[in-house]
Amino acid sequence: MLTKLVRSTVFIFLCTTLTSCSLQPVLINKIYDGDTFSTSTGQIIRLIQIDTPELSSSECYSEEAKKDLTEIVEMYMSKSAVKVLSPKTLVKTLQINLEYDSTLDSKDEYGRHLSYLLLGDQNVNLEMVKRGSAVPYFYRGTKGKYAAELEDAAEFARENRLGIWGKCPGFIYNPTQAANTGSSSGLSQVVQNDLDGQIVVNGNANCSPHYRECVPQFPPDYDCGDLKSLGLIHVLNSDPHRLDRDGDGLACESNAR
């Protein structure tokens, strides 16, 4: 929920690319999590082509993602122009756009409106990914108009270990699936098996300190085929399993495709 002060004094003028852009005063009524909010007209807006950790499952970085979206909105509100309605009344006015993507669905199976949120010249969907608060999510593999920019933003966050990338050791990135960041404690319950049976539970002593993900201790030796469920593997220092063939710090890239 936005602060009481913000909700009572800020009108948001909402227009979409699917309708004529008639300015209509609309309040952002509630922010549910890092990618979903409602307006005072009863619309539920789901930020398209991105995903944030689930609050209901207490996933790693879910609370922070909600706070980041709220911060972005409130920061824009604080910079907005002030309109004098009467000698005793000041109302901050905001120009926001909900931009639908003609190549993608306009609503999801729950009836939520799917769109990009634009605050002035800022694309909030991109900003959330750049902060590491969200990751690209190309539902059914379909990429929209900002897909390339979203992938670049994710690469920036990954390289700088921002948000999810630095705080969630159990995070498995797959842009065609919803974000999976593991539990809020930062430990993922990923179980890996080999020919001898169960070998890895993330967070226990079997995990090698040389990788961000829970790669088994060396020896014995494992290759990327043995570690498919871990997805992309980040090498932290040495690489005893020799998984990072090109030495760029990223191993088993094929597992994340």
| 215 shares a domain with 94 | no
Residue 186 falls inside a structural domain: no
| 109 shares a domain with 10 | yes
Say yes or no to pLDDT of 181 above 60.
Answer: yes
Residue 181 falls inside a structural domain: no
| 245 shares a domain with 133 | no
Residue 172 falls inside a structural domain: no
DSSP code for 104: S
Question: Do 136 and 150 contact (CB within 8 A), yes or no?
Answer: yes
| 65 shares a domain with 120 | yes
The DSSP code sequence of 94-136 is EEEEEE--TTS-SB-TT-PEEEEEEETTEEHHHHHHHTTS-EE
Residue 178 falls inside a structural domain: no
Question: Do 129 and 150 contact (CB within 8 A), yes or no?
Answer: yes
| 16 shares a domain with 102 | yes
For residue 94, give the amino acid letter.
L
17-29 tens-digit pLDDT:
444 343 344 567 8
Residue 248 falls inside a structural domain: yes
| 114 shares a domain with 42 | yes
Total domains in the chain come to 2
3-state SS, residue 226: helix
Nearest alpha-carbon partner for 76 in 125, 129, 10, 135: 10
Determine the pLDDT at residue 94: 55
Last residue of a domain, one of 135, 167, 199: 167
| 197 shares a domain with 71 | no
Nearest alpha-carbon partner for 182 in 174, 173, 170, 191: 170
Residue 173 falls inside a structural domain: no
| 101 shares a domain with 10 | yes
| 8 shares a domain with 101 | yes
Determine the pLDDT at residue 57: 77
Calculate ∠ Cα 54-171-204, nearest 5°. Answer: 115
Say yes or no to pLDDT of 7 above 60.
Answer: no
Which has more confidence, 152 or 92? Answer: 152
The alpha carbons of the chain give a radius of gyration, in whole angstroms, of 21
d(Cα 101, Cα 212) in Å, to the nearest integer? 36
Determine the pLDDT at residue 96: 65
| 210 shares a domain with 150 | no
d(Cα 124, Cα 52) in Å, to the nearest integer? 13
CATH of the domain at 41: 2.40.50.90
Determine the pLDDT at residue 223: 87
| 43 shares a domain with 155 | yes
In sequence order, the 6+-apart residues with CB closer than 8 A to the CB of 196 are: none
Nearest alpha-carbon partner for 105 in 115, 91, 119: 115
Which has more confidence, 71 or 30? Answer: 71
Question: Do 212 and 236 contact (CB within 8 A), yes or no?
Answer: yes
d(Cα 29, Cα 42) in Å, to the nearest integer? 9
Residue 201 falls inside a structural domain: yes
89-114 tens-digit pLDDT:
655 555 567 889 999 999 998 899 99
Which has more confidence, 4 or 233? Answer: 233
Question: Do 11 and 92 contact (CB within 8 A), yes or no?
Answer: yes
Residues 212, 214, 215, 220, CA torsion sign: positive
Residue 179 falls inside a structural domain: no
Last residue of a domain, one of 152, 167, 182: 167
Lowest mean pLDDT among 23-27, 38-42, 97-101, 191-195: 191-195
Q: Are strands 191-194 and 197-201 parallel, antiparallel or unpaired?
A: antiparallel
Helix (H) or strand (E) holding 11: strand 10-16
Mean pLDDT of the chain: 77
Residues 245, 249, 254, 255, CA torsion sign: positive
133-144 tens-digit pLDDT:
999 999 999 999
Q: Which residue range is the domain that position 81 belongs to?
A: 4-167
Lowest mean pLDDT among 51-60, 191-200, 225-234: 191-200
| 212 shares a domain with 144 | no
Instruction: Identify the top-confidence range among 81-95, 96-110, 141-155, 239-253.
Output: 141-155
210-237 tens-digit pLDDT:
888 788 888 888 888 888 877 888 888 7
